[in-house]
């Protein structure tokens, strides 16, 4: 009788493993459960990128982990630092796809990680570099979480802390809903980031917004809007053909009712297209009575779109028109533009040059 063949299990990505899963792995290796928290401290507080760096683990355990586990899926390919201090990283995935993440440092002490949920994006927004590159694949919850965890560990070593996380990097978070939700819960439980310090940005996948409203979280919701009528928004953002503005705003009202939190609307100001006072008044009429805030930012340049950024004085006039309508708005400072780290600029074009 032939012996049974037992297939070897693939290595466990330690960033994929929740605490109970890590305890289970170590239990199978004959280790007590407290070792799991030791491993997590090395990952999330000390930023270990290799099992051998975890020097308070027994040597036999480190040897076993070399066989049974990997330390993350992200391989750093390049890092750039903007004149304003913004950091952008390009990571390679085991599949060969590339993703980017950004760390923004603010004068008030905030340290905000902008992380990706997909390699590329299927939404096709015409002014967005990620949308222009198309869709590669979804990230696992561990790959999403790892981007923030790495920044958090490095900031700890500098005596600082990661204070905020925004899922505004590459990809549409609600197109990868289940993985994003697990990653969000781990940002809260494993990194100690409060729900109100986490924001998810979506182009407007209405069923997912309604589902997210029912999750019982206090996570912020940001909507990429960019136009005040359906014809214009459908031209800029194909998703609007499936879920037009009125359906989108109805879902936003449901989110506000369920969470008590206001919605943020993101608006890229494009010179001569969506930056005049008449458009601001139309937007004001749409949003009046909804608990919300409008974040406006002059369009960040991308190679695949010819539109130009609105001048600052015209942008301020747009803000003033909205506020006269009773809709609070803020004109944001563009960050990381010199290294293509601004909103809508993230892309894997580094791969093209390599």
What CATH number should be reported for the domain holding residue 310?
3.20.20.70
What pLDDT, in 10s, does the model give residues 300-331?
Answer: 766 667 678 888 899 999 999 999 999 999 99
Residue 3 counted as domain residue: no
Per the prediction, the chain carries an average pLDDT of 89
For position 54, which CATH number holds?
1.10.150.530
Which of the listed residues 29, 54, 70 is the one where a domain comes to its end?
70
Strand pairing class (75-81; 12-13):
unpaired
pTM above 0.85, yes or no: yes
Write down the pLDDT at residue 6.
Answer: 45
Catalytic residue positions? 100, 343
What is the mean pLDDT of the segment spanning 91-114? 94
What is the mean pLDDT of the segment spanning 99-109? 93
Q: Clarify whether residues 55 and 82 are in a common domain.
A: no
Q: Clarify whether residues 198 and 337 are in a common domain.
A: yes
Q: Clarify whether residues 202 and 131 are in a common domain.
A: yes
What is the mean pLDDT of the segment spanning 266-294? 95
SS3 at position 2:
coil
Taking the alpha carbons of 247, 140, 98, 51 in that order, is the dihedral positive or negative?
positive
Write down the pLDDT at residue 299.
Answer: 85
Start-end of H helices in the chain: 19-28, 34-44, 59-68, 129-133, 141-157, 177-189, 206-213, 230-236, 245-259, 277-287, 312-324, 349-353
Write out the residue range of the structural domain in which residue 230 sits.
75-353
Q: What percent of the chain has pLDDT over 70?
A: 90
Q: Clarify whether residues 105 and 63 are in a common domain.
A: no
Q: Clarify whether residues 45 and 139 are in a common domain.
A: no
What is the mean pLDDT of the segment spanning 43-59? 92
Q: Clarify whether residues 292 and 186 are in a common domain.
A: yes
Asked if the model's pLDDT at residue 339 lies above 50, the reply is no
What is the mean pLDDT of the segment spanning 134-141? 93
Q: Clarify whether residues 48 and 130 are in a common domain.
A: no
Write down the pLDDT at residue 351.
Answer: 42
Write down the pLDDT at residue 205.
Answer: 98
Residue 151 counted as domain residue: yes
Write down the pLDDT at residue 332.
Answer: 84
Asked if the model's pLDDT at residue 347 lies above 80, the reply is no
Which of the listed residues 70, 97, 112 is the one where a domain comes to its end?
70
Q: Clarify whether residues 199 and 348 are in a common domain.
A: yes
Q: Clarify whether residues 41 and 90 are in a common domain.
A: no
What pLDDT, in 10s, does the model give residues 1-42?
Answer: 444 444 456 788 999 998 999 999 999 999 999 999 999 999
* Cα 332 to Cα 128: distance, rounded to the nearest angstrom: 18
Q: How many structural domains is the chain composed of? A: 2
């Amino acid at each position: 009788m032939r012996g049974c063949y037992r297939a070897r299990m693939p290595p466990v990505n330690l960033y994929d493993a929740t605490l109970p899963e890590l305890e289970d792995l170590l239990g199978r290796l004959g280790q007590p459960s407290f070792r799991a928290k030791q491993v997590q401290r090395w990952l999330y507080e000390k930023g270990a990128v290799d099992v051998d760096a975890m020097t308070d683990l027994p040597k036999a355990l480190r040897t076993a982990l070399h066989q049974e586990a990997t330390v993350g899926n992200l391989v750093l390919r390049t890092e750039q630092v903007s004149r304003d201090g913004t950091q952008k990283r390009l990571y390679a995935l085991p599949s060969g796809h590339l993703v980017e993440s950004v760390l923004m440092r603010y004068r008030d002490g905030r340290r905000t990680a902008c992380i990706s949920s997909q390699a590329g994006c299927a939404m096709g927004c015409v002014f967005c570099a990620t949308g222009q590159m198309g869709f590669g694949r979804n990230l696992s919850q561990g790959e999403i979480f790892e981007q923030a965890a790495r920044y958090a560990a490095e900031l700890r070593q500098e005596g600082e802390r990661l204070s905020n996380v925004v899922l505004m990097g590459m990809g549409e978070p609600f197109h990868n809903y289940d993985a994003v939700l697990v990653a969000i819960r781990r940002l809260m439980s494993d990194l100690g980031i409060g729900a109100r310090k986490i924001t998810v940005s979506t182009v407007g996948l209405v069923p997912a917004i309604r589902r997210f409203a029912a999750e019982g979280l206090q996570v912020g919701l940001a909507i990429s809007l960019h136009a005040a009528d359906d014809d214009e928004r459908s031209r800029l953002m194909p998703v609007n053909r499936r879920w037009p503005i009125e359906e989108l705003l109805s879902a936003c009202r449901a989110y506000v009712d369920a969470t008590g939190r206001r919605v943020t609307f993101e608006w890229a100001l494009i010179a001569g297209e969506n930056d005049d006072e008449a458009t601001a008044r139309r937007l004001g009429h749409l949003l009046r009575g909804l608990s919300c805030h409008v974040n406006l930012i002059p369009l960040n340049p991308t190679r695949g779109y010819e539109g130009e950024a609105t001048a600052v004085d015209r942008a301020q006039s747009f803000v003033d028109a909205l506020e006269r309508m009773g809709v609070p708005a803020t004109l944001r400072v563009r960050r990381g533009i010199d290294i293509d780290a601004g909103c809508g600029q993230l892309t894997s074009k580094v791969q093209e040059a390599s």
